[in-house]
Amino acid sequence: MSQTGGRSLTFRNAFSTAYRSCGVAELLRAVRFTLPAVTACSPTSARAASVEYDKPLRAIGRSIRARRKLLVIAFVAMLMMIFFAASGMYFIEREAQPKAFASIPDAMWWAVMTLTTVGYGDVYPITALGKFFAAIIATCGIAVFALPMAILTAAILDVKVEDE
């Protein structure tokens, strides 16, 4: 045990502070309530655990079926956006970065990471035109990738209104 600024530091105090600050307590509280449902020993208890989530899952399933044509269109739009972004970035950046943008499939990695806003940072544009194109693609990507969520949300709300 050592003294630092009038406060004693022990392994127990350090662990307690780390335990509280990392959200471990919250995680354990959540696991305490879900563990019985996950590790149900009998078919009856498993059935009881699944009944709680049965109605919401069915509502989501009905929502997806009701809007499947719109969701397919949104998915196709996402694929087209990925291909357009990858092709554009390949033609803009291939001479400046022949290893990073060696082919359109290689550029698709950049496109997916940019459009989904993950942005690992391992591949990025270095030319002015490439940066401008990336900014436009990133902005459009937010809209294109948010579209399926908006469609699903509207469908779920419609199902909820029908159920009431």
pLDDT in tens, 84-126: 999 999 999 999 999 999 999 999 999 999 988 888 888 999 9
Query: Are the C-beta atoms of residues 144 and 78 closer than 8 Å to each other?
Result: yes
pLDDT of residue 111: 94
Euclidean distance between the first and final Cα of the chain, in Å? 63
pLDDT of residue 118: 85
Q: The tokens 């291939």 sit on which residue?
A: 94
Least confident window among 3-7, 62-66, 73-77, 107-111: 3-7
Number of H helices, E strands in the chain: 6, 2
More confident residue, 23 or 123: 123
Q: Which CATH class is domain 66-163?
A: mainly alpha
Q: Which residue ranges does the chain devote to CATH 1.10.287.70?
A: 66-163
pLDDT of residue 87: 97
Q: Is the pLDDT at 2 greater than 80, yes or no?
A: no
Q: Cβ contacts of residue 163 below 8 Å, gap of 6+? A: 59
Token duo for residue 84:
């357009």
More confident residue, 145 or 79: 79
pLDDT of residue 84: 96
pLDDT of residue 1: 47
Q: Is the pLDDT at 81 greater than 50, yes or no?
A: yes
Q: The tokens 């996402």 sit on which residue?
A: 78
Q: Is the pLDDT at 30 greater than 80, yes or no?
A: no
Q: Cβ contacts of residue 127 below 8 Å, gap of 6+? A: 92, 93, 96
Report the mean per-residue pLDDT for the chain: 79
Packed helices 104-115 and 68-93: angle between N→C axes, nearest 10 degrees: 120
Q: Is the pLDDT at 17 greater than 80, yes or no?
A: no
Packed helices 128-163 and 68-93: angle between N→C axes, nearest 10 degrees: 170
pLDDT of residue 113: 92
